[in-house]
Amino acid sequence: MKIIIAGAGEVGAYLAKLLSQENQDIVFMDPDEEKLNMPYGLEIMTAVGNPTSINDLKMAGVKQADIFIAVTPEESVNMTASMLASNLGARITIARISNIEYLLPKNVEFFSKLGIDSLICPEILAADEIVNALKTPWSCQWSALSGGKLILVGVKIRENASVINKYLYEISQDKKFYHIVAIKRGNNTIIPNGSDQIFSGDIVYFTTTPKHISDIKTLAGKDRIEIDRIVVMGGSRIAMNVCENLPDNIQIKLIEKDREKSYSLAEKVRSNVLVINGDGRNTDLLIRENIKDCDAFIALTSNSEANILSCVTAKNLGVPKTIAEVENVDYIQMAEKLDIDTVINKKLIAASHIYRFLLDADVSTVKSMTFANAEVAELTARHKSKITTKPVKDLNLPKDLTLGGKIRDGVAEIIDGDTQIKAGDHVVVFCLDSAMRKIEDYFN
């Protein structure tokens, strides 16, 4: 598969690194030659050129491109480049945008006619992740799958959990309402079986149905947290989208360091948002703003280190839920060890959204697990595909993937060894990064 990535910024560079591991034919394109000097030692082709230049696109081989991905910082460049690429022969085009209006269904259809197959906005996707994280503040990660019929929830296990030191076969039930799809322990992610144990400090990923979310909370020994008051540090686009998408009854304090920007933000926010000009890293400021009385602290500045340290400070001051934007992937493990509850990374979110276009199977969603080197994918089982030939226990599935649940005729069910997948079933698959390509063998 030939893939052209236009834009050597953070998202483009991360995508190039990720996709190069898939042995794809990748061309990395940018007008700035210096940005194309990849620090990873990757064997990918580079093309110095403007993605809105017809001649430069042709030189990059756009006519033979299976996927053209425009992720420059400029929305207009991405839109123009994708339309040109489509008309020059690219099979699928993806454009990074920042304007929420473009994502309205009528506009998505309009841009599709112009040749742009998918619009992605990492800032909006990140804001959605944060809003979801606040729905279950006792969890590390919460994702609605299959239109909300199945839920993936990651929970950090503490000493008070009833499952501590137990083998998975000991906590199995006659009537299952969940499936443990992965255990993150230290730097390792385990796709577990009945002989695996759960220890304190593990992050355990469950698939379940919405009506059993509270049962997962009880199983993990978590207290109920009501989110009524939030402090947000940094007036970024993500922060503004979070403030816009949270309910009106939640009181929000938005701290922005830049004076002029804070004045501008104050004119745009809703009545439940109070904008404060100040440095959110200042402990005295946080104490003056009664941070100990807030339910969640969300750090969304462009500085990963500042976000991590601010969340640690908030945690020490008694805030029950902390969320940090950490764009440096190398810092994610550190954030977990410092007990930050949820980590947001735009690069991982955008890459997961784009990754589904690379799989030949019928994939509707791919989500990256921030703390684990793993993905969760939603796939549709095709007629006569390998996944439909035998009960799950007899399929000899690779050890680095597991099936978490399925939707059949609109009804969600948790999968176990006796489950027989049928053609047309919508199946949630949890797998390590090493198994993404193996999915195709079972679902095609």
Tallying the residues shown for the chain, one arrives at 444
| pLDDT value for 431 | 82
pLDDT number for residue 301: 95
In this predicted structure, what is the pLDDT of residue 272? 95
pLDDT at 366: 63
Amino acid at 427: V
Predicted local distance difference test score (pLDDT) of residue 361: 46
Given a contact cutoff of 8 angstroms between Cβ atoms, the answer to whether 144 and 153 are in contact is no
Q: Return the pLDDT at 230.
A: 97
SS (H, E, C) 165-224: CCEHHHCCCCCCCEEEEEEEECCEEECCCCCCECCCCCEEEEEECHHHHHHHHHHCCCCC
Distance CA 24, CA 1 (A): 6
DSSP for 390-407 reads: S-GGGS---TTEEEEEEE
Instruction: For each of the domains in the chain, give its residue range(s) and CATH number, in order of start.
Output: 2-120 (3.40.50.720), 139-219 (3.30.70.1450), 229-319 (3.40.50.720)
Q: Which of 327, 178, 315 is nearest to 238 (CA)?
A: 327
CB 429 within 8 A of CB 402: yes
Which pLDDT belongs to residue 371? 61
- pTM, two decimals, is 0.82
pLDDT by residue for the chain (444 residues), tens only, comes to: 899 999 988 888 878 877 776 667 889 999 999 888 765 556 788 999 999 999 999 999 999 999 999 999 899 999 999 999 999 999 999 999 988 889 888 899 999 999 999 999 989 989 998 998 898 899 888 888 878 888 888 899 988 888 889 888 888 665 578 889 889 888 888 888 888 999 998 999 999 999 998 888 888 888 888 899 999 999 999 999 999 999 999 999 999 999 999 999 999 999 999 999 999 889 999 999 999 899 999 999 999 999 999 999 999 999 999 999 998 888 988 898 898 999 999 888 887 777 767 655 455 556 666 666 677 888 889 888 999 999 999 998 888 888 989 999 889 999 888 899 999 998 988 888 666 667 778 888
- Contact yes or no for 400/191 (Cβ under 8 A): yes
Tell which residue, 429, 444, 431, has the closest CA to residue 378. Answer: 429
